[in-house]
Amino acid sequence: MNQPVFVAGTGIISAIGDNVAACLDALQNGNAGMGSMQQLQSVHKNRLPVAEVKLSNDELAKLSGLSNLKSRTALLSLVAANEALANAGIENLQSLRCGFISANSVGGMDKTENFFTDFIANNNKGRLRNVVHHECGSVTELVADALGIKDYISTISTACSSSANSIFFAARLIRNNIIDVAVAGGTDSLTKFTLNGFNTLMIVDEQFCQPFDENRRGLNLGEGAGYLVLVSEKVAASLKNKPNIILSGYCNANDAYHQTASSPDGTGSFLAMSGALKKSGLQPADIDYINLHGTGTHNNDIAEGTAIKRLFNGHYPKMSSTKTFTGHTLGASGGIEAVFSVMALQHGVVFPNLRLQTPMVDLPFVPERECIKNVKLNHVLSNSFGFGGNCSSLIFSKV
């Protein structure tokens, strides 16, 4: 029940790169992925910057090997999941009990929106086959089939904490001897529905976002996918490249404060972080780096910051929000930032919180503004806090 769960592989695609190596290079060199809309067609194209993956659906289909008739969400998922499995290098995968635990929040909505545009113009147009895979679970099943994973398949959709929840649910499945290997994380593509919804909440920044800045204005939306390959201790011992990072702690909590806002005192954030620490057996002082949820909205940053102030009580680790690079990728954010957290441990790097000019006056700490290399990191905390108060924290540790 308490055996360690190892991170054997990582895979990612985001606005700053189509793979792990490209993303690491962008993070170390301060190359953010935000810009004007190219793939998404919206009336807000010239007003709201987004962090899009730079490839078209046809290019993603070629890269993934999945038909471009499928949703962009599924295409992104398969690209990242394939990289994670290749990176893990598990030679006898088919002989092991393997699960695919994937998160998303938009499903195949991009295909539905395109169908609806044609249908409204002429109800004799539009192909219904393009909306068959609308729901979130269908995206997971499409990718699981493409990966050849059949033993355990599940979809998690808990807003912005979705991917983090899929990762620790996968770890629990391994710890309870239900599966041996899991590809876990999440995916989301940009859609008009999502952009319009967040814009209606008046939390979308018309400039590039500035998380944890006193003058922050809101978030930039992004897209992408991020996955970890998690394995049991027995599988880890059989690999040629022995993994040395484990998922040591995790916790999900809900403050039930509001449908979209976090509690101002950061109750949910505090419960998630303190619960993950308890699960790992670590103390706050053991954490070397926090990958902040850090969306750039007024509510999120003060709630998360207040919780960190309460929990770490004057002994603050280095921290930053990598959403300054990728935008807020919604259901994919926990997976993408878990990959970044593992990368930080592997390479001894603390990534910068870009565009931070004026520190928040109500907080006694300031996130890192520059990339810091050759840092000794043993424990990294990654936060993912979603709508409805669904808050999750993961802790990755070197062993």
**Annotated active-site positions, please?**
160, 293, 328
Distances (CA, A) of 270 to 187, 212, 277, 338: 26, 17, 11, 19
Say how many C-beta atoms besides its own lie within 10 A of residue 23's C-beta: 28
CA dist., res. 68 & res. 78, Å (int): 12
Burial class (CB in 10 A: 0-12, 13-18, 19+), 215: exposed
> Taking a C-beta distance cutoff of 8 angstroms, is the pair 321, 212 a contact?
yes
Distances (CA, A) of 264 to 71, 290, 307, 359: 37, 20, 9, 18
DSSP string, 139-168: HHHHHHHHHT--SEEEEE--GGGHHHHHHH
Length of the chain: 399
* Helix axis angle, 57-64 to 72-88, nearest 10°: 30
CA dist., res. 79 & res. 23, Å (int): 14
Encoding tokens for residue 236? 């880890």
Half-sphere exposure of 330 (CA within 13 A, CB side): 28
Query: In this structure, which amino acid lies at residue 254?
Result: N
